[in-house]
Amino acid sequence: MTGLIDDHAQHQGPMARRAEQTHSWWRVMCLTGLDYFSTLGYQPGIAALAAGLISPFATIVLVALTLLGALPVYRRVAKESFRGSGSIAMLERLLPWWAGKLFVLVLLGFAATDFMITITLSAADASAHAIANPFAPAWLGGGQVWLTLALVTLLGLVFLKGFREAIRVAVLLVAVYLLLNVVVAVVSIGHIFTNPIVVEDWWSALFESHGNPLLIAGVALIVFPKLALGLSGFETGVAVMPQITGSDADAPDNPKTRIRGTKRLLTTAAVIMSVFLITSSFTTTLLIPQADFQPGGPANGRALAYLAHEYLGEAFGTVYDISTILILWFAGASAMAGLLNLVPRYLPRYGMAPQWARAVRPLVIVFSLIAFLITIVFRADVDAQGGAYATGVLVLITSASVAVMISAWQRRQRPQTIAFGAITVVFIYTTVVNVLERPDGIRIAGLFILGIVTVSVISRIGRSFELRAPTVTFDVDAASFLRGDAKSGELLIIAHEPHEGTDSEYVKKDRDERRFSKIPLKARTIFLEVHPSDSSDFEEELEVTGSIRAGYRVMQVRSGNVPNTIAAVLLAARDLTGVVPTVYCEWTEGNPIGNMFRYLITGVGEVAPVTREVLREAEKDIKRRPAVHVV
């Protein structure tokens, strides 16, 4: 648990420190490019395997969707969710109470699928490149699983040690990798121009299989969802926004410079990737026999590496393999950073994860163990994990499309609403087709969702008796009430559930408490009222205000959890005055078990016993623990 906070804000959870050093948008683009650009290592091979000879046309459709769909969506996400929370935060704000929390948990399940499969799939493909290299030692043969596990282990060790130089390493890896891909693309295109027979052979085979151009176009529109891996990286692009250099002149609630830099990042990355997707799809489809893409074939999962060895020699091919292995392995680092950003940002704040889930190192161990399990179950097979990866990517992009469409609708921006609505429909179609074609992806995502929901429910119940207020602030009047009574050596606080709010209500409450709780008539008391808010919230910043009602002094606070809030206010009052307070409560009518379930869902129920238990957990010294008097 020591050293768990990343000084450079690599992990943008609530426990992260503010980034002291930020970077130019193009440097940060290289960090997101670890995930985005590294898909070139396996995307062309998976596309050819999924779409066959139609792959180039399906890729053009995918590129159109990237530039005309995903890019505009995430440019708007960057504008409206600029603190690194991404599209999930936009949807969280739209859905209050438990519905919003459950929806976020589901999206986190898909995000976990995306990032975890990125780690395992990238490591598996890096292993495939290492094993297939002609200079690889013979003992690597058949070692796909253990080599992948070794890469995942190395990734975990890097994060346990600290991940400080990510951007510097990312810039170097991405620059070298893209340069090598430019060389492969230029040489491959040159070979096609000097050997036009390959185009004629492909064209003949294409028409022989599909008949006419309209049918080819129709099939391309149908099969392009199978190529959805080429859309990865957008959510990561908005998650790293705090790393981009802003301007001191920008307002905190509208950092124009950082937003502008993020939009440049997203646009530049999308254009670069689109060019590489089209060129790699055409060159690999035309120059590599379809049989070589099949499982066990020399181009399976490494189509561009196949071309590098074939047309540039084994030496260049080996350099290309090394570059590909490094960027694929580091893509797992990008995904790990994404997980370490999402989990601390949401689950502990919801009370749906243990407190240690705020720390980097314990989470790294948990994620590494999950990656081990996925690798073993799928036997480090790149193709077998592609469906789950695409499902996670598409669900996140679809949810982002829904978020920006709703945002435009709420702002009454009719043209934008229509445009984003159309984009949303296309992404919903793409997601549904992908799920129907490869249902294993939704099954894996379902397991992640089930795991997250199960852990969240158990954690929320287990943390029911925790103090949930990081801070308690008293206004001038409330602090004056407490300090004034503390001079007499006692603080007597009456817990009051407000109803009509009439003067007679306060008079009756004071009379009953003094009678049944034996409070002396001359003793000074203060009413404490907890006005209900969203009970699904866990951590709340409490602001206590004081006022005079019917001649009685009243402290009011808004919270979704009554007992925990009373306990937090009592402890804060003790710390403010040095006097241990006593609170007077009434027993709650009804079945105790039913009241306990009411407390878990609505934040009310057995107020007195739960308040006492929260105090017992928070303060072990009985002499300093506020007393709970109940009749």
The whole-angstrom separation of Cα 47 and Cα 53 is 10
The whole-angstrom separation of Cα 57 and Cα 61 is 7
Q: Is the pLDDT of residue 145 over 80?
A: yes
Pairing type for strands 627-630 and 542-549 reads: unpaired
Q: What is the pLDDT of residue 219?
A: 74
Residues 480-502: tens digit of each pLDDT = 999 998 888 889 999 888 777 77
Residue at 235: amino acid letter: E
Tokens, residue 430: 């793409």
Question: Residue 555: enclosing H or E segment and its boundaries?
Answer: strand 552-559
Determine contact, residues 305/136, Cβ cutoff 8 Å: no
| 230/157: higher pLDDT | 157
Q: Is the pLDDT of residue 15 over 80?
A: no
Q: Is the pLDDT of residue 20 over 60?
A: no
Residue at 340: amino acid letter: L
The whole-angstrom separation of Cα 34 and Cα 25 is 15
The whole-angstrom separation of Cα 363 and Cα 345 is 13
0.85 exceeded by pTM: no
Q: What is the pLDDT of residue 366?
A: 87
Q: How far is CA 181 from the centre of its chain?
A: 30
Q: Is the pLDDT of residue 474 over 70?
A: yes
Where is mean pLDDT largest: 18-27, 139-148, 152-161, 570-579? 570-579
The whole-angstrom separation of Cα 311 and Cα 598 is 69
Beta partners for residue 525, in sequence order: 492
| 361/261: higher pLDDT | 261
Q: Is the pLDDT of residue 179 over 90?
A: yes
Find, among 179, 78, 116, the residue nearest to 444 by Cα. Answer: 116
Q: What is the pLDDT of residue 11?
A: 38
At 532, phi and psi to the nearest 5?
A: -70, 145
Q: Is the pLDDT of residue 7 over 50?
A: no
Question: Residue 148: enclosing H or E segment and its boundaries?
Answer: helix 144-161
Pairing type for strands 542-549 and 552-559 reads: antiparallel
Find, among 381, 300, 310, the residue nearest to 48 by Cα. Answer: 300
The whole-angstrom separation of Cα 122 and Cα 50 is 19
DSSP states of 193-248: HH-THHHHHHHHHHHHHH-SHHHHHHHHHHHGGGGGGGGTTHHHHHHTGGGB---T
Tokens, residue 356: 């240690």
Q: What is the pLDDT of residue 111?
A: 82
CB contact set of 445 (below 8 Å; sequence gap of 6+):
109, 110, 113, 388, 391, 392, 395
Q: Is the pLDDT of residue 79 over 80?
A: yes
Q: What is the pLDDT of residue 401?
A: 93
Q: What is the pLDDT of residue 18?
A: 46
Determine contact, residues 31/334, Cβ cutoff 8 Å: yes
Find, among 174, 182, 172, the residue nearest to 33 by Cα. Answer: 174
Where is mean pLDDT largest: 40-49, 88-97, 177-186? 177-186
Q: What percentage of residues in the chain have a pLDDT greater than 70?
A: 91
Residues 192-229: tens digit of each pLDDT = 999 888 888 888 887 777 667 777 777 777 777 777 77
Alpha carbon distances (Å) from 335 to 109, 118, 269: 14, 6, 17
Beta partners for residue 472, in sequence order: 542
Q: What is the pLDDT of residue 149?
A: 92
Residues 493-534: tens digit of each pLDDT = 998 887 777 788 888 888 888 888 888 878 889 999 988 887
Residues 94-141: tens digit of each pLDDT = 776 777 777 888 888 888 888 888 888 888 888 888 888 888 787 777
Q: How far is CA 397 from the centre of its chain?
A: 12
Give the mean pLDDT of 28-41: 83
At 85, phi and psi to the nearest 5?
A: -90, -15
Strand order in the sheet with 582-585: 472-474, 542-549, 552-559, 525-532, 492-495, 582-585, 627-630
Q: What percentage of residues in the chain have a pLDDT greater than 90?
A: 22
